[in-house]
Structure 1
Amino acid sequence: MKKLYVIAGCNGAGKTTASYTILPEILDCKEFVNADEIARGISPFQPEKVGIEAGRMMLKRIKNLLEAGESFAFETTLSTRSYVTFIEKATKLSYQVTCLFFLLDSEELAISRVATRVKEGGHHIPEEVIRRRYKSGLKNFFNLFLPRVDNWLFVNNSGDSYEIIAEGSMNEITVNNVLQWKELKEKYYGN
C-alpha cells in the first residue's frame, strides 16, 4: 500500500530529528521531503535566503511523488492550508495518510529551541513567525488535517523523552493524557 506521512509540528519541535530515525528505521519510509533540507542544499551557509525557492521545489517534489505512486513523507508546521489539497489528492490516489504531530508545551519553548538551533549553526526564524505558526499549526491540525488523515499520532516532545498524548484513526481515538488533550481541543478545535 502507498503511504504518505505528514511530519508536523511547530518550529523547534524536533520534527526533522525524529524523522531521521522514525521514517527509515521504524516506518520503512526512505523518501523524506523537507524544505529546510532543500534550502541547505541550495545555499548551505544562508539557507534562509532561499526559503521560497526551496518551498517551491518541495511542492513540486511532493506532486511528482504522488503522481509516481511512491510512498514518502514530508515535513510541515501545518500553519497554512496548502497541504490539504495534497492530502485530499493522496486519498483519492489510494494512499494511506498518517500525520505525526509533534507538540511543544509553549510558544516560548519553541522560541528557545530555535534559538539553540541557531547557536548550533541552524537557521533563524523570527519570533513572531514562530508564535503565529505555533497557534495556526494546532488550529489546522484539529480543524483541517485530523478529519482528512487515515491515522494520526499526537506527541508531546517538550521533555527529554516524548509522550504520546493521543492517537487515532478515522474510527477510533485513544487518549493517553486526557487533561492535555482536552485543553488543546478546547483551545484550538473549532476556532
Structure 2
Amino acid sequence: MTAQKPQFWIVAGPNGVGKTTYAFRHIRAVSGSTSFVNLDEIARGLSPLDPSAEQQRAARVALAMTRSLIAEGRSFSIETTVSGKTHLRTIAAAREAGFAINLLFFLVASPEVSLSRIARRVSEGGHDVAEADVRRRFDRAISNLPIYIGAVDQWRVFNNATLRPQVVAEGRRGCLALLERSDNLPKALWSALETLPACAEA
C-alpha cells in the first residue's frame, strides 16, 4: 500500500477576511493536523501586550517552524495574505519533499469590509493592521492568486462575506474546474480567475 502524502495547507487571503477564524474552527479537521503556523499568533506569544513589536522575530520563528515541518514530513498548515511571493519558495520546498499542496483563499467585497472587521477585532482585544497595508495587500493578494494557483495541487476560493464561507471557485494546479460568480466580490477576482484554462476531466 502506498503511503499517503503529507499535506501542506495554505489558508490565504487579505487581512480581515476571516482566515484565522476559519482556521481555528476548521483547519484541524480539514488538514488532519494540529500543526498551524500563524505569524500573528507567534508574535502574540512573544509579546502579548505589543505583538506588532515582535513581527520580525515572529517571522523568523514561523520560517524555522515551516522548514522543520517540511524536513520531518509532517502535515501542517499556514496562514498568509499571499500579497507577496515568499511562500512560492515554501511551496517548492514542500513539493520537493513529497507534500500534496492545497490552497484555501478567502475574500470579502472590499478593503472597507476588511477594515471594518479589523476595527471590530481591535475593539475585542485583537491585533490591528495599518489601513495602507490592508488596502495594498487586498489588491496584491488578488493579483497574486493565479500565480499561487499555478503552484498548488488543489485550490478553492471562498466568499467569506456571508455567514458561512461559500465556495465560488475551485480547481487543480493552474486550472479552473468551477466558477460561480457572486456580485458581492471584487470584479478583479473574476478577471484573475478567468485567465485560467479549464481543467481537463480527471
**TM-score exceeds 0.5:** yes
Tell me the distance in 2 between the aligned counterparts of 1:178 and 1:25.
Answer: 27
Greater CA drift, 178-187 or 86-95: 178-187
Matching residue of 1:7: 11
Select which of 95, 101, 115 maps to 2:99.
Answer: 95
Matching residue of 1:152: 155
Matching of residue 77 in structure 1 with residue 81 in structure 2: yes
Greater CA drift, 115-124 or 16-25: 16-25
Select which of 181, 184, 187 maps to 2:189.
Answer: 184
Q: Deviation digits for residues 13-49 of structure 1, max 9, x if unmatched?
A: 1111111122112332211000001011101111111
Q: Deviation digits for residues 35-91 of structure 1, max 9, x if unmatched?
A: 001011101111111111111110111011111111000000001110000101111
Matching residue of 2:166: 163
Matching of residue 110 in structure 1 with residue 114 in structure 2: yes
Tell me the distance in 1 between the aligned counterparts of 2:155 and 2:69.
Answer: 21
Tell me the distance in 1 between the aligned counterparts of 2:192 and 2:149.
Answer: 15
Report if the CA contact (8 A) 2:145-2:192 is conserved.
Answer: no
Report if the CA contact (8 A) 2:110-2:186 is conserved.
Answer: no
Matching of residue 31 in structure 1 with residue 45 in structure 2: no
Q: Specify the SS of the correspondent of 2:109.
A: coil
Identity %: 33
Pair 1:122–1:49, CA change in 2 (3 A): same
Shift of 1:94: 1.4
Report if the CA contact (8 A) 2:102-2:154 is conserved.
Answer: yes
Q: Specify the SS of the correspondent of 1:148.
A: coil
Q: Specify the SS of the correspondent of 2:101.
A: strand
Shift of 1:133: 0.6
Tell me the distance in 2 between the aligned counterparts of 1:155 and 1:49.
Answer: 31
Report if the CA contact (8 A) 1:175-1:181 is conserved.
Answer: no
Matching of residue 65 in structure 1 with residue 72 in structure 2: no
Tell me the distance in 1 between the aligned counterparts of 2:31 and 2:59.
Answer: 25
Greater CA drift, 169-178 or 111-120: 169-178
Once superposed, what is the RMSD of the aligned Cα atoms? 2.0
Taking structure 1 as the reference length, the TM-score comes to 0.92
Which blocks of at least 5 consecutive residues in structure 1 are unaligned? none
1 or 2, which has the higher helix percentage?
1
> Amino acid of the residue matched to residue 191 of structure 2?
E
Which blocks of at least 5 consecutive residues in structure 2 are unaligned? 196-202
Taking structure 2 as the reference length, the TM-score comes to 0.87
Matching residue of 2:199: none
Q: Count residues with an aligned counterpart.
A: 189
Runs of 4+ in 1 over 4 A off after TM superposition: 178-183, 187-190
Report if the CA contact (8 A) 1:165-1:181 is conserved.
Answer: no
